[in-house]
Structure 1
C-alpha cells in the first residue's frame, strides 16, 4: 500500500507492443526526478520541512514538484510557462503551491529566459528559498534508479535500445546510466526539437513545437552528451503524426514527446531484431488535446515519413533529421 499519491502515480507501466518493442509509460515521469531530488535534499540537510522550493516549469515538473513538496511537508513556488493550463493551475492551487506565469511568448528562448530571470528576482527577495535547478543539478538523476531497477527486472536479458526525449538530462540519461551500471548493454537514442541548443539545433526554428520540455533554448547543464549514441530532431508535424499513430495502433494516449519517440523507435528498429527497443511515454496526452490531437485528421501516415540522415549540424533540416552523435561533425554553433 502506498503512503502518498505521489508514490502511486510515479509507477511506470511496461507495455509490450511487439516482442521486441516496449512502451515505458508514465502518468507523469518527472515525479521520480522530483521525489528523488527532494529526498536527497532532506536527507543531506540542505532543506528542512517547511522550507520553500522554487523552480521553473513548462508543466509536468510543476505538478511533480508540487506533489513532492506535499509529500514531504515543504512549500512550493513555480514560475511557469504559459503552457501551464487551467487544469494544472487548479491542482497546484489546491495542493498549496503558488504559481506565477511569465508573459506569453511565441519564442522558446524568450519564454525560458523570462522564467529564469524571474526566479533570480524571487531568490534575491527570498534568499531562504531553495532553487531546485531541474535543468542543471544532477540530483535529479537519483530518482530514476528505481525506474532502471524495474526495467532490469522485467525486460528479458539482452541488449536494450532506450529512446526518449533528452529534456534536462535526468530521464533518458539517468535511466541509461543506472541500466549500464547493472551490466546491461544499453544504447541511447535521444529526441530533440528543432530550436534547442542542447544538441545544436538552435539555428533551425520550429515555431509550432509545443513540447519545450524535451529541449531548450538555454543550456541544460545536467545533460551528459556522451551518454547518447543517436539523436533525432523531430518537428511538431512528425511528433503529432507519431502520437496519433501510437494511439490508433496501440491505444496508448500519450504526450507529443511519446509520439516523437514512437516514430523514432520504429525507424531505429527496422530490420534489427537483435535488441529490445524501449521508448518513453513521459506523460498522458490530455494537455495536448486542443493544440495537437484536435488536428489528428491532418496527421501524416508515419509510413510516409523518414529522417534526413546527417553527419554535420550544418545539414540539419525539418521535418526530421537523425545522426550518429558520436560521429557528428559539430560546427561552432553546435553543442
Structure 2
C-alpha cells in the first residue's frame, strides 16, 4: 500500500460528551460453575469502546506537551480495539489516523476501522522475534520516517494510556460501596495501571488479579504464537505495573470461548477473548472468597468475534481442548510453561535483573 500524507482532520469536540459513563452489570451466570456473582463494567457500550478513554487522554497529553500539532496525523499499531478508540479520538480532536494491523485482523474489524475514517496498513508476516506485535511496530517506524510531523502514541509505554482510565475509576467508586477484588485483563497495561492506584486509595485492602493469555510474555512465561487477541503480549510494555498485582492467571482459548458463550446465553452481555477470560477469573474469585465484592471490565462486545469465538466450525477447526473447570496453580512463572488456565501468586517483572542469592 502506498503511503501519502493524510489530509488534516476536522475536529468534532462534541463527540467527547459520549465518552465513558458505561453501565455496571451484575453477572451471575455459572462460569462454568455457580458463583455468588460479580460486577462487570460494560465498556463496549461506550462510544469508541474502552480504549477511546486512553486514546483521548494520549492525544490530549501530547497536545499539552507540544508533541502533537493541530491536524497532524497519528500513527499507531493495533490489534483492533485501540484502533477504534483512536478513530474516535481522531475525529473528536481533529487528527487523521493511520493504523497498522496484521493479516490476522478480522475482515469485519478492517471494514469498521476504514468506515470510521482511519487508513489501515497491514503487515503480512510476524517478526522472527516479537511476532505480530514486533512486525507492526517495525511498520509504524517505517511510516514515521516517511511522514514528517506524524505522532506515535506508543500505547505500550505512554503513561497517558493509564491516565485515561481515571474516569473509569471514578465511575466505579461512585457506584460501589465496597470493592474487595479487581480483576483486570492485561495487554498494554493501561487500564489496570489507571484503575489500581485510585481504587486502592478508596479501598486500601483491594486485591488485584491480572489476567493474561497463554503464550504471553508479560508475566514471565515464554512468548508463543497466540490464538487469543486483545490481551497478552509478545513484548514487555512498560505500562504494566507488576507490583500492583497480587496474583496472575493465564487463560487459554478453550476456557475463554466457553465463558463467552455462557455469558451470551445466560447474561445477554458478552464479548471476545478478554471478556471471556476476565469473566472466568472473576467468577472463580467470587467463589474463592465468599462475601467478597468482585469487579472487572468487559473491554469489548461480541460482534467482531462472530466468525471466531462464536463460530462452531472455526472452533472445531482449531481443535480446542475441553475447558478445565479450575486453574492449575504454579509456584513461580518460570517453573513450568502453562498451556491452559493456570494461576500464580508470585508476580514478577521479567525485565527486573535477577537478584543475587544471599550468602
Q: Aligned partners of 2:86 and 2:346: how far apart in 1?
A: 32
Q: 1:220 to 1:229 in 2, by over 3 A?
A: same
Match of 1:103 in 2: 124
Q: Indicate conservation of the 8 Å contact 1:26/1:281, yes or no.
A: yes
Q: 1:294 to 1:222 in 2, by over 3 A?
A: same
Q: Aligned partners of 1:284 and 1:181: how far apart in 2?
A: 30
Q: 1:255 to 1:109 in 2, by over 3 A?
A: same
Q: Aligned partners of 2:58 and 2:143: how far apart in 1?
A: 21
Structure 1 runs (4+) deviating above 4 angstroms are: 104-108, 296-302, 328-334
**The one of 13, 26, 29 aligned to 2:23:** 13
| Count of aligned pairs | 327
Per-residue deviation at 1:176?
1.4
**The one of 88, 106, 129 aligned to 2:150:** 129
Match of 2:332 in 1: 312
Q: Aligned partners of 1:241 and 1:106: how far apart in 2?
A: 31
Match of 2:235 in 1: 218
**The one of 53, 56, 81 aligned to 2:77:** 56
Unaligned 5+ residue runs, structure 2? 1-11, 29-35, 355-359
Q: Aligned partners of 1:239 and 1:94: how far apart in 2?
A: 29
Q: Indicate the structure with greater helix content.
A: 1
**The one of 271, 279, 294 aligned to 1:254:** 271
Q: Aligned partners of 2:80 and 2:349: how far apart in 1?
A: 34
Match of 2:54 in 1: 33
Q: How does 1:43-192 map to 2 (within 5 A)?
A: 43-105=64-126, 109-157=130-178, 159-192=179-212
Q: Indicate conservation of the 8 Å contact 1:194/1:235, yes or no.
A: yes
CA RMSD of aligned residues (A): 2.8
Give the TM-score of the pair, scaled to structure 1: 0.88
Per-residue deviation at 1:90?
3.1
Unaligned 5+ residue runs, structure 1? none
SS in 2 for 1:130: coil
Match of 1:241 in 2: 258
Does residue 24 of the first structure (1) align with residue 41 of the second (2)?
Answer: yes
Per-residue deviation at 1:178?
2.0
Per-residue deviation at 1:330?
7.6
Q: Aligned partners of 2:116 and 2:263: how far apart in 1?
A: 32
Could you tell which deviates more after superposition, 315-324 or 38-47?
38-47
Q: 1:210 to 1:107 in 2, by over 3 A?
A: farther
